[in-house]
């Protein structure tokens, strides 16, 4: 007797003996058999890398936390110092942010149940767009449900047939996928290499072209050479878009990002950003000239065909934006922490690459030592992120450490002690 049939029969004795197989079970078995025999699913059966890492105790992904604070998380009942978060300003637990999210939840409910294009636009979304445009000194801004969707929608809307998009080879996956969805041609240039970009432009041609870069590169923590890139873009008549996901709230005297950092805000055509880092929530935005934003608003499929960001998330961003402007000391303290950690890690002998931001990599250069370093730090009470190929180029495998304005000196002392101990044990230093 099947388990499902047995449960029913026990509560309904007159049902009688079960058939050899129930119809839905036959259908289910047939579907499962077909999936396991189709060549399409060979890759599924052959994919065992993650399971092997799990069996070895070296799998660093999808680790669930039971409680989360600004700088510490609880995993399996143990508190660990988090140095892998993008919560740069430490706003996820700011009282003003929490209060704003709670009020929005009570007023608007848990979700918008529709796309921005139809029934899912709230006055909160429009208020945030207005405030972002003022903050970033642009004519307009447009809010998406995630940062990934922002790049997908904006790039695919703009880069139609006949457009050439030049992107840095280390650009975020959302930029790469936005280019894949577009009808335009995509050309990659060497990382942060203006000379290689110029060679690419001269080779391909710059008529109807857009250059896209990350402001801060999320794995290595270096900053795009915006002045040189803008000089080229203007000389050849290209537009320029910067993904400031890891720069907004962090770079610049007022936290407006990479363009403010270099004093070139009026020269950048489009600024993209996310709400899942300094803004302590989820979502994304693109900001620029009103005509460009208006066009994206009516052509970005990831906006038109996706549910809008929920009220509590948008209210949290609005509150975070206010804190960013009202409490500049958070950003100033973040930079003091950044300077200390970079100096200390380099002093111990670690390779931190070209980082110039609160994202400070510890470059290991091989997969297994990187995974082992992550695991031993994890067991010692420190959580980092490990990046291996293809997330980083082969031979540049690294631990990605990132810092928060609310990290205490005691926490940083603890982190440095553990990193040094593991680094020496593994022969990294």
Catalytic residue among 85, 182, 200, 218: 218
Give the helix ranges, DSSP H, for 56-118.
95-108
Q: Is 96 annotated as catalytic?
A: no
> Hey, which residues does 115 pair with through a beta bridge?
307
The number of C-alpha atoms within 13 Å of 214 and in the hemisphere containing its C-beta is 24
Q: Is 218 annotated as catalytic?
A: yes
Give the helix ranges, DSSP H, for 205-257.
226-236
Answer positive or negative: Cα dihedral of 80, 86, 89, 90. Answer: negative
The Cα 347–Cα 400 span in angstroms is 18
The Cα 311–Cα 248 span in angstroms is 22
Q: Are 152 and 181 in contact (CB under 8 A)?
A: yes
Question: What angle is formed at CA 389 by the lines to CA 388 and CA 395, rounded to 5 degrees?
Answer: 85
Cis bond upstream, residue 354 (ω within 30): no
Catalytic residue among 80, 125, 261, 277: 277
The Cα 314–Cα 227 span in angstroms is 33
The number of C-alpha atoms within 13 Å of 265 and in the hemisphere containing its C-beta is 19
The Cβ of residue 343 has, within 10 Å, a number of other Cβ atoms equal to 11
Mode of pairing for the β-strands spanning 164-168 and 209-214: parallel
Q: Is 115 annotated as catalytic?
A: no
Question: What angle is formed at CA 136 by the lines to CA 103 and CA 261, rounded to 5 degrees?
Answer: 120
Catalytic residue among 94, 246, 407, 418: 246
For the beta sheet containing 140-144, the strands, ordered from the edge strand earlier in sequence to the opposite edge, are: 140-144, 284-288, 270-274, 239-243, 209-214, 164-168, 185-189
Furthest-apart CA atoms within the chain: distance in Å: 85
Q: Phi and psi (nearest 5°) for 361? A: -80, 150
Residue 131 CB contacts under 8 Å (≥ 6 apart), including other chains: 318, 321
Mode of pairing for the β-strands spanning 72-75 and 67-68: antiparallel
**At which residue do the structure tokens 């704003």 appear?**
100
Active site residues: 218, 246, 277
């Amino acid at each position: 007797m099947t388990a499902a049939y047995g449960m029913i029969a026990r509560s309904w004795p007159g049902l009688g003996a079960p058939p050899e197989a129930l119809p839905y079970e036959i259908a289910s078995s047939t579907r499962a058999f077909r999936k396991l025999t189709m060549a399409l699913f060979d890759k599924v059966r052959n994919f065992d890398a993650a399971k092997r890492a799990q069996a070895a105790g070296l799998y660093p992904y999808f680790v669930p936390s039971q409680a989360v604070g600004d700088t510490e998380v609880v995993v399996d009942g143990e508190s660990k110092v988090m140095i892998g978060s993008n919560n740069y300003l430490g706003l996820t637990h700011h009282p003003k942010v929490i209060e704003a999210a709670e009020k929005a939840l009570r007023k608007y409910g848990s979700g918008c149940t529709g796309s921005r294009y139809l029934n899912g636009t709230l006055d909160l979304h429009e208020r945030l767009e207005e405030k972002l445009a003022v903050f970033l000194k642009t004519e307009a801004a447009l809010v998406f449900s995630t940062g990934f969707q922002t790049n997908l929608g904006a790039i695919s809307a703009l880069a139609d047939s006949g457009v050439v998009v030049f992107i840095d080879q280390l650009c975020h996956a959302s930029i790469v996928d936005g280019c894949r969805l577009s009808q335009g041609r995509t050309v990659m240039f060497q990382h942060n290499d203006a000379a290689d970009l110029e060679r690419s432009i001269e080779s391909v041609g710059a008529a109807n072209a857009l250059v896209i870069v990350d402001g801060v590169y999320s794995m290595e923590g270096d900053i795009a050479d915006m002045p040189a890139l803008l000089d080229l873009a203007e000389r050849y008549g290209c537009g320029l878009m910067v993904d400031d996901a890891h720069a907004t709230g962090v770079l610049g005297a007022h936290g407006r990002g990479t363009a403010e950092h270099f004093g070139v805000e009026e020269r950048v055509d489009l600024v993209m950003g996310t709400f899942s880092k300094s803004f302590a929530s989820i979502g994304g935005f693109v900001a620029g000239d009103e005509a460009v934003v208006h066009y994206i608003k009516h052509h970005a499929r990831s906006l038109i065909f996706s549910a809008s960001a929920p009220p509590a998330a948008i209210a949290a961003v609005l509150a975070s934006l206010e804190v960013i402007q009202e409490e500049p000391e958070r950003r100033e303290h973040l930079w003091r922490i950044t300077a200390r950690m970079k100096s200390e890690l380099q002093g111990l002998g670690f390779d931190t690459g070209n980082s110039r931001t609160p994202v400070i990599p510890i470059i290991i250069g091989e997969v297994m030592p990187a995974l082992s370093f992550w695991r031993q730090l994890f067991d010692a009470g420190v959580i980092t992120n490990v990046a291996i190929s293809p997330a980083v180029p082969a031979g540049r495998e690294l631990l990605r450490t990132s810092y928060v304005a609310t990290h205490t000196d005691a926490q940083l002392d603890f982190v440095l002690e553990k990193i040094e101990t593991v680094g020496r044990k593994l022969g990294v230093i």
